[in-house]
Amino acid sequence: MKKLKLNSILNHKCDHYLPYEVSVEKVITLYGKSFEKLKNNPLAKNPYIAEYCNLMYIDSNDVAHCLLFVDHESGDGILVESEGSDYARKSQFIPNARALIENNEMTDAERKIHNKISVIAEKLAEMAHCGNKYFSFEDIFSEETLDEIKSTILQAVCEKLQQHEDIRSVQINDLDIPFQSGIDVEAKPTQGLTFYCPLKIVREPEELDDDWDEKVLEEIPSEYAVGCADEINRFIQNYSEPEEENRGLMVYYYDDPAVCEKIFSAIPSVKEINGELMGVFECRIVGKLTDSELEELRSYLGP
């Protein structure tokens, strides 16, 4: 058995535990030292708690509606119910919280695949104890097992797609029928949403001396750069990574799954607006964004 290692809190001579029924209203991933600050000083004011304090409360059925903060590095978490405040009035350290989230999102078919792997491993261990040492692919996977695994994987993919906010329908087809697709997937239609942002434009000074510091650049009014719009857009396009082709900057967004599914793409460019050069993000979204989701997108795209 693999040894389990985790970070946890051990209460001294604890005589009972009275857990709440908890509903996690939002999972927030924290980067850098943000999680350490919350862990080491939960009673300090926290901008994330302040922003989403309306999501945290205890209802008439004694269900605690909470935020779950997860450390990007360790995967540990802190559960918070702020009681309307901007700090963690009620909180609990949750070891390996990311694993709990992943397990909660695991579909029935994924669990079947996991169980099948365990069964195969146990069978090989049994055969090894009986003197067998070498196993071919055919020994491990019979044709029947492979068909079962292939079918289960398709089912797992289908179940995952059905959880997506941006998918309208998913259908698995009969794999025994020639020239038929394995899965039919229909996405929900998207609509456009455009963000504009001012640009700070700098250039090297026209006259340079030997003591010039490369970090000291001259700021110029944005209207002076309007004529460079096409050149800047070509630069953006030429230096974009291949994986950005369809989704733009959203391909790098991992924080909030709901935001990731609702916002299909965010393509950057520059454009002349009222005689000034402005930054532009052309987004394609599914459905309607909540106020918090809209603010999350703005924060991600903005400086």
Taking only the tens place, the pLDDT of each residue in 95-121 is 999 999 888 888 888 888 888 888 888
User: How far apart, in whole angstroms, are the C-alpha atoms of residue 221 and residue 113?
Assistant: 59
Counting every residue written for the chain, the total comes to: 303
User: How far apart, in whole angstroms, are the C-alpha atoms of residue 53 and residue 94?
Assistant: 20
- Identify the residue with better confidence: 11 or 87: 87
Residue the block writes with tokens 């532009």: 280
Give the tens place of pLDDT for each residue, 225-282.
788 889 989 999 998 899 999 999 999 988 777 788 899 999 999 999 888 888 999 9
Residue 149 confidence class, pLDDT cut points 50, 70, 90: confident
Per the structure block, which two tokens stand in for 181? 């697709």
User: How far apart, in whole angstroms, are the C-alpha atoms of residue 6 and residue 302?
Assistant: 36
Per the structure block, which two tokens stand in for 256? 């909030």
Angle at 60 between CA 57 and CA 61, to 5 degrees: 100
99 φ/ψ angles, rounded to the nearest 5 degrees: -65, -35
Other Cβ atoms less than 10 A from the Cβ of 259: the count is 21
User: Domain residue spans in the chain?
Assistant: 21-103, 106-187, 191-206+215-301
Q: Is 240 helix (H, G, I), strand (E, B) or coil?
A: coil
- The model carries a pTM of 0.63
